[in-house]
Structure 1
Amino acid sequence: MELLLAVIPPLLCYVIFSLCKIGFQKRDQRCYMLSYQCHKAPEDQKLDTGSCADIVTRNKNLGIEEYRFLLRTMVSSGIGEETYCPKNVIDGREESATHMDAVSEMDGIIFQTLDKLFAKTGVSPSEIDIIVSSVSLFSPAPSLTARLINRYRMREDVKAFNLSGMGCSASVVAIDLVKQLFRTCKNSLAIVVSTESMGPNWYSGKDKSMMLSNILFRTGGCSMLLTNNRALKNKALLELTCSVRTHIGSIDEAYRSCIQVEDDLGHKGFRLTRDLPKAGAKALAMNLRVLLPKVLPPLEMLRYVITYYRNKIMKRSSPKGAGPGLDLKSGIDHFCVHPGGRAIIDEVGKSLALSDYDLEPARMALYRFGNTSSGGLWYVLGYMEAKKRLKKGDKILMISLGAGFKCNNCVWKVLKDLDDTNVWQDCIDHYPPSTIGNPFSAKFDWINDESMDFARREDYLPLLKKHSR
């Protein structure tokens, strides 16, 4: 008995010490978003209806059927008149882009956003401990992070990481990487840069599954400043509460659904196959099975389990369009859906039973800026903030899909009421517009005339140019 009494105090102390250690470790694993800055290209890179038509007519590989496909897809794409295009494409050099075109495009996006981010937060580049770039289609030597370190004269011990080939979901991958690094890097500041190299990757062939990328993708990007320093929490906008990454690249159809290849004539581009919606739905469902139990209230999960097994026993089928069967609003207030295209937004909305209000930010980001790849989520978040939707304590679910095929999602907690108009400043009062119809619909209605089936290129090009003005 005396021996037991002698052992209990040190054992109790050890247990208390271990619990305290775990508590402090979890506290140090926090990830705060101090600020973010989206890119807005110069006005001379704006891609309106006329500019689109000019680019289309330059492609001598296209016939009437390809023109019809392009114009019809533009009309239904959900993209408006004020998106931005790479400078070399605007200048008519989409088939002869140089290495310097790619470097210049990256400099224009990354340097602009980082300059504004440092100015906005008052943080010096010399204070940065970690820097991550996520650009899928451009991986130069020296690397993009080395280029940033050189320009901003960062410290020699800064940890630099370059992510490539990650597609539209690279931004969340980069943030998850920073979160993991924060476990061993105490009181650190991290920069994440997410954009895409569009200029050298413009498709000049006539494969319809590869022409889609020219219609959807536009110039854009974002830089973010993150920290795990609890002393800076009062300055932070958001706190990362959960992140889940799902990869189904082991499935051949999913792997090939969004892939960079060359067509039969040797033109390089991105092929989007008919398997893409199916791959996206599968990856999203698998991801949410892991993520939702972490963010929804236990009572909601219990209700779902009871309902599920009751319907199974009674052999009841779930009604179509009913979503996942969970009340997502019980733990999530806002849905930041990747603006990859109208079909993607609509499909995610249908799968999760989201309302038009929930999908409005993604649709407006697509309409105003197009699909800016990994930077797209931040234009959606910026719209929510500019509309003053984000209030202290709100939870935001970010949903991203990308080549591989993968689905990377995360949940943020809003730490203060947010109202910065950021890149939406010049137009937010006019959004959402009464209609998001594309002018192509009226200007190029003649393209559907059956008599054009037998027209020569020389016959319809003048019409195309005439109506683009």
Structure 2
Amino acid sequence: MARIQEYILMYPQLIISTTICSTMAAAIAGLIVMYLIHQRKPKVYLLDFSCYQPPNSCRLPMSMFLENVLLDGTDPDSIAFQVKILENSGFSEETCIPPSLTCLPIRKSVSFALEEVTTVMFSAVSDLFEKHNINPRAIDVLISNSSLFCPTPSLSTLIINKFRMRSNIKNFNLSGMGCSAGLIAVSLAKDLLRVHSNSLALIVSTETLVLNWYKGKVPSMLLTNCLFRMGGAAVLMSSRKQDKGRAKYELQHLVRTNKAQEDQSHACVFQDMDPENKQGISISKDILHVAGDALKANISALGPMVLPISEQIRYGISILIRKIWSQRRRKPRIPNFKKAFEHFCIHAGGRAVIQGIERNLELRKEDVEASKMTLYRFGNTSSSSLWYELSYIEAKGKMKKGDRVWQIAFGSGFKCNSAVWKCVANVGTERENVWRDIIHSYPVEIPN
């Protein structure tokens, strides 16, 4: 009887112990399964990329801009507003626009837009193919992206026709995705390369200016004339095992954040008609606040993937202290992302965007050098700006094997996307680099 009573008293403890052991066993088994699944996924590599170099004849110095808008009959108040924005844009006299926008009067038509987009895309793709002696028929997946120009046939079809690619190529064209479309294309390529393993994917990112040059008077729509410039990039990705030895980077993580469910975010970058029935892209004054919220959500998801455990613990303790002692007004501790990355490529959307991230993430001046210099030399080239920045880092000889780089992109919707790459090769300064002729003069001091 005593033994029965003792067993009854011990029974709850046995149940608890058994439950704990079962839970731990299930957790360990889950981790093992996740590890095995991860190991089975094909690795995705970035073999190389090429950025478009506009000719000097496409340069738009301030003097030419003023002359063009004055002779084109632009409203004086609109001119004064654009001059003020340009003076604080962080642009040099070297940024470029398509030739049709320097004509008097400005020429806007589908034919000129096609001329612009094909010049940029075909040049970037040709440079990439020639650099690596790639047969266009070897490409299995093709993804093009241009947010505002979506002709028929599509941009990806134009590329297939130009380079005589295979009839069974898997081609996609992304439109309306804003400046973050380049990383969305990378995300799509990653998924397709893992499903269709042992494949090559080509991404072509650009934006056309011709049809979207605004000639009205609404300040929020005039901003696009001041911020966006001509550019594009071609990116070659692979899931083929034989490409591991010639790849530059391996894709580690890709995190996408979309805040379109919030009205303020959805409306902060919007294509619309002004009171005079002129089409333009309206950029809201709320964009910096919206971008900040999107970035917070994005790094909250990315942080646990990339930050060292010690840094995550420090950050968690700081959050706990704020909650326990109700120190809501105290600024929360910012995780030190310099412990996770050696290089940062922040979308060159504008001077305020780069400075905001530099300040909020407590980055050093050299951490944002590539972004500021890209904005200065090429302007905001939309979805391709990240590749001009990565090209700058390579041209300066800063990229070393084992280094990690964080690409951060923002786009209409509102979206914030992050890609993390690990350098898997000794990347030297290359003759084909878009910065090759001018890198010796950078960085430069940019007037405030």
Give TM-score, length-normalised by structure 1.
0.85
User: 1:57, 1:417 → 2: CA distance?
Assistant: 50
**Other-structure match for 1:443:** none
Query: Match of 2:306, as an amino acid?
Result: V
Q: 1:184 aligns with which of 190, 195, 206?
A: 195
Contact 1:241 1:411 survives alignment (8 Å): yes
Superimposed CA distance per residue, residues 94-122 of structure 1 (whole angstroms, 9 cap, x where no aligned partner): 3x412111111111101101111001112
Query: Match of 1:413, as an amino acid?
Result: K
User: 1:27, 1:58 → 2: CA distance?
Assistant: 62
Contact 1:169 1:401 survives alignment (8 Å): yes
**Other-structure match for 2:62:** 49
**Other-structure match for 1:403:** 412
Contact 2:72 2:104 survives alignment (8 Å): no
- Give 1:22 shift: 6.8
Contact 1:118 1:124 survives alignment (8 Å): yes
Secondary structure in structure 1 of the residue aligned to 2:104: coil
Is 1:82 aligned to 2:91, yes or no? no
CA-atom RMSD in angstroms: 2.1
Is 1:373 aligned to 2:386, yes or no? no
Query: Match of 1:267, as an amino acid?
Result: K
**Other-structure match for 2:352:** 343
- The within-5 A match list for 1:31-430 is 31-63=44-76, 65-94=77-106, 96-316=107-327, 325-421=334-430, 422-430=433-441
Identity of aligned residues (%): 38
- Give 1:25 shift: 6.2
User: 2:40, 2:255 → 1: CA distance?
Assistant: 20
- Give 1:263 shift: 0.8
* CA shift in 2, pair 1:98/1:68, >3 Å: closer
User: 2:418, 2:401 → 1: CA distance?
Assistant: 21
User: 1:254, 1:224 → 2: CA distance?
Assistant: 29
* CA shift in 2, pair 1:22/1:352, >3 Å: closer
- Give 1:19 shift: 6.9
Superimposed CA distance per residue, residues 193-246 of structure 1 (whole angstroms, 9 cap, x where no aligned partner): 000011111011111111111011000010000001122111011111000111
- Give 1:410 shift: 1.0
Superimposed CA distance per residue, residues 341-400 of structure 1 (whole angstroms, 9 cap, x where no aligned partner): 101111111121111111111000000000000011111111111111111111111110
- Give 1:27 shift: 4.4
Secondary structure in structure 2 of the residue aligned to 1:147: helix
Aligned residues: 418
User: 1:32, 1:72 → 2: CA distance?
Assistant: 43
Secondary structure in structure 2 of the residue aligned to 1:34: strand
User: 1:211, 1:388 → 2: CA distance?
Assistant: 38
User: 1:308, 1:225 → 2: CA distance?
Assistant: 41
Contact 2:144 2:155 survives alignment (8 Å): yes
- Give 1:24 shift: 7.0
- Give 1:29 shift: 2.9
Query: Match of 1:125, as an amino acid?
Result: P
Secondary structure in structure 1 of the residue aligned to 2:195: coil
- Give 1:333 shift: 1.3
Contact 1:59 1:204 survives alignment (8 Å): no
Query: Match of 2:393, as an amino acid?
Result: M
User: 1:338, 1:19 → 2: CA distance?
Assistant: 37
* CA shift in 2, pair 1:285/1:21, >3 Å: closer
**Other-structure match for 1:464:** none
Give TM-score, length-normalised by structure 2.
0.89
Contact 1:87 1:199 survives alignment (8 Å): no
* CA shift in 2, pair 1:204/1:429, >3 Å: same
Superimposed CA distance per residue, residues 251-295 of structure 1 (whole angstroms, 9 cap, x where no aligned partner): 111111111111111111111111111110011100111011111
Contact 2:345 2:407 survives alignment (8 Å): yes
Runs of 4+ residues over 6 Å off in structure 1: 18-22
Query: Match of 1:409, as an amino acid?
Result: S
Query: Match of 1:235, as an amino acid?
Result: R
Moved more, 26-35 or 232-241: 26-35
| Larger relative contact order, structure 1 or 2 (CA cutoff 8 Å, min sep 6) | 1
User: 1:276, 1:177 → 2: CA distance?
Assistant: 26
Query: Match of 1:74, as an amino acid?
Result: L
User: 1:387, 1:411 → 2: CA distance?
Assistant: 20
- Give 1:60 shift: 2.2
User: 1:302, 1:83 → 2: CA distance?
Assistant: 44
Secondary structure in structure 2 of the residue aligned to 1:84: coil
Contact 2:254 2:420 survives alignment (8 Å): yes
- Give 1:61 shift: 4.0
- Give 1:183 shift: 2.0
Contact 1:48 1:82 survives alignment (8 Å): yes
- Give 1:417 shift: 2.6
